[in-house]
Amino acid sequence: NKGKDQKVRVELRNLESISNGLIIVVPSSTPNMDDELYYEKQVSKHGYATAIVYGAEPRYQKKFTGSYTSSMILYDAVATIDEVSKQFTKPKEVILIGSSTGTLAIFKAGWQDLRNKYPAINLIKKAIGNDSYIKERPGSKIRQHSLLNIRKK
């Protein structure tokens, strides 16, 4: 599924650690990135490069509309992996972190049909979702990914 191209801001940090892996922090359902910045700050100390994807900025209209979806969030993560691999080096592994609608994108990263269509998704080895949605979907198609429910303290 190809929509119109949309430029999305991605902040890359700790690029000297890209060979260890890449942690991608995906947005939730709004352009407010306070939680995502907090998550990135917490994980930035673990020897991985990090990427904060500001995908909601150019698309968001209001909550609970189709203006910004979990599919868009996942496509932005895929584009981030592809671009980092092209401009720097292919990371050994990718970890996704998200909350709210970003958690839904994490679930979609486990869907085999999307893994077949977008090979970059196969670099995603772990994921952390901060949402009760994780607990409510035991029959999800997610495969062998570590999902941890974290809470901001």
Which tens digit of pLDDT belongs to each residue from 43-66?
888 899 999 998 766 565 565 555
Q: What is the pTM of this model?
A: 0.79
Give the whole-number percent of the chain exceeding pLDDT 70: 74
DSSP per-residue codes, the chain: --------EEEEE-GGGTTT-EEEE---SSS--HHHHHHHHHHTTSS-EEEEEETTTTT--STTSTTS-HHHHHHHHHHHHHHHHHHT---S-EEEEEETHHHHHHHHTT-HHHHHH-GGGGGEEEEEEESTHHHH-TT----S-EEEE----
Query: pLDDT (tens digit, 9 = 90+) per residue, 100-150?
Result: 888 888 888 988 899 999 999 999 999 888 765 444 444 544 433 334 433
| Residue-level pLDDT at 131 | 65
